[in-house]
Amino acid sequence: MVRLHRPLCHSLVALALLGAPGTCEECEADDHGQSDTLSVLQSRSGLSTGAISMSLVKKVRKTGAKGSKSHGHKMAYFGLVEVGTPRQGFSVVFDTGSGNLIVPGSDCTSRACEVHKRFSMRQSSTAKEVNCDGSDVGEGGDPDEITITFGTGSISGRCLQDQICLGSACSQGAFISASDESSHPFANFDFDGVLGLALPNMAQGSSFSMMERMSKGSSLRKPLFSVFLSDSDEETSEITFGKINRDHMASELFWVPVSGTVGYWEIMIEDITVDSERQGICEDCRVAVDTGTSQLAGPTPLVEKIEHILNVQSDCGNFHQLPELGFIIGEKVLSLSPSQYVEKGPGSCSLALMTLDVPPPNGPLFLFGIPFLQKYYSVYDHDKSQVGFAVAKHAGETPPQLLSLTDVREPGEGGQRRPKRSAQTSES
């Protein structure tokens, strides 16, 4: 038996933070508990239209010791994937920063598996074991296994092939069935597993890549998917395969080419702005757009510079005077307001930008997680290896303007802060 060892992609290092144990005072789900909500999640448009939309459930985990001022929250959005014949349902994070479907297996007896749903190979008439590159197991041979390590946690498992379904879209694909999961962090997750939607290079093989299978099967109108995340209980978050939903856009959509080769949805940052003024601190910066990360993260030296420039007071004394923090990407400025880059607790404030040092050649790297993706509607074009952004249209909110380079001042030019104008939607 061959055992493969593979470091998990760095986004899942950040994903582990979703369930960081600390102390959880309160966990909240939208409207229903997890099992009740997922039982009614359905695709809202079938593949007869060449597109399929899946509703996502938001889960918030408040962290911090009781009575402490250092409160925070970790957030995840997850949906339903079904595996096997008959189908077995699992709640999964649709993760643009990893490449494989990973769910607990019935042979896993660790606590992290037992508190979640587990896939039973015996109960599926279409399941079979495969090697962890997707190849068939030779006659009389033993299939290999895989161990994925990251941070303080690890997963070990075997690779299986079976029917994998997103609503009415089904295909034969390979996935990892975990036979062992470390308690930290997996026992603390509010979802069962992860469905990787990174580019194919990050998957174990082409049969492990959901988008690779769906694109080759010609079941989608376009080989892309789009993500709309809302922080409000009044609207539904969703992931859509095969089309761009312009109902979620409050500005024109612009495209940025993927710059890396590892498999991340990785793009270039030209510079960082503060109230539309260039800071000249970001040369050759890169960012991975990561739906599986609850926060924002960046290299330690740059995070320290940003922290110094913004000067967020720990007692929140200057919160209402804090500037917009922007990132120049593809001749546009994607900015975050103080409410999006500051973590507020009872009487305390801190910069919600984690330090994450990804070593070369994959780093240094920023991660744009949920706070960024709540503000910007994002589209991931599998065929052209590009990412699209538009200001997200949220119910009851006046959307901010999508700024261009003409709105940016050079260092030292001064000038007053620009007024926050409403965005205009451009149909194309």
pLDDT at 287 over 80: yes
Scan for tokens 């993760």, then name that residue: 95
Q: Which helix (H) or strand (E) holds 15?
A: helix 10-15
- Identify the active-site residue in 144, 190, 290, 381: 290
DSSP 231: S
d(CA 7, CA 324): 36
Distances (CA, A) of 179 to 214, 300, 337, 381: 27, 35, 43, 33
Weakest mean pLDDT among 188-192, 238-242, 371-375: 188-192
Of 179, 160, 163, nearest in space to 171 by CA: 163
Which pLDDT score is estimated for 363? Answer: 81
Q: Which CATH superfamily is domain 245-407 in?
A: Acid Proteases (2.40.70.10)
d(CA 83, CA 166): 9
pLDDT at 151 over 70: no
- Determine the average pLDDT of the residues in 125-139: 94
Q: For residue 89, what are the β-bridge partners? A: 82
> Burial of 313 by CB count in 10 Å (0-12 exposed, 13-18 middle, 19+ buried)?
middle
Of 61, 4, 74, 58, nearest in space to 352 by CA: 74
DSSP string over 17-34: GGG--S-EEEEEESSS-H
Which pLDDT score is estimated for 100? Answer: 95
Which pLDDT score is estimated for 73? Answer: 64
The residue among 181 and 218 whose pLDDT is bigger is 181
Weakest mean pLDDT among 6-15, 79-88, 91-100, 303-312: 6-15
Weakest mean pLDDT among 76-90, 321-335, 347-361: 347-361
pLDDT at 54 over 50: yes
Q: What is the pTM of this model?
A: 0.87
pLDDT at 39 over 50: no
φ and ψ at residue 181, rounded to 5 degrees: -135, 135
pLDDT at 360 over 70: yes
> Burial of 266 by CB count in 10 Å (0-12 exposed, 13-18 middle, 19+ buried)?
buried
Weakest mean pLDDT among 153-157, 162-166, 421-425: 421-425
- Determine the average pLDDT of the residues in 106-117: 96
pLDDT at 166 over 80: yes
Task: Work out the mean pLDDT of the chain and round it to a whole number.
Answer: 84
Going from N- to C-terminal start, the domains of the chain cover: 3-228, 245-407
Which pLDDT score is estimated for 44? Answer: 47
Which pLDDT score is estimated for 18? Answer: 39
pLDDT interval class at 251 (50, 70, 90): very high
- Identify the active-site residue in 95, 144, 180, 381: 95
| % of the chain exceeding 70 in pLDDT | 81
Q: Which helix (H) or strand (E) holds 348?
A: strand 348-351
CATH entry, 3-228, from 3.30.565.10, 3.40.640.10, 3.30.1780.10, 2.40.70.10 = 2.40.70.10
d(CA 286, CA 273): 15
Weakest mean pLDDT among 84-88, 283-287, 310-314: 283-287
Given the DSSP bridges, would you call strands 169-181 and 153-166 parallel, antiparallel or unpaired? antiparallel
One-letter identity of residue 54 = M
Q: Is 290 a catalytic residue?
A: yes
Residue pLDDT, tens place only, 385-399: 999 999 999 999 999
- Determine the average pLDDT of the residues in 6-27: 38
Burial call 87-111: b when 16+ CB within 10 Å, e when fewer: bbbbbbbbbbbbbbbbbbbbbbebe
d(CA 200, CA 290): 15
Do domains 3-228 and 245-407 share one topology? The answer is yes
pLDDT at 366 over 50: yes
Of 84, 117, 122, 123, nearest in space to 103 by CA: 117
Which pLDDT score is estimated for 27? Answer: 36
Which pLDDT score is estimated for 426? Answer: 41
pLDDT at 168 over 60: yes
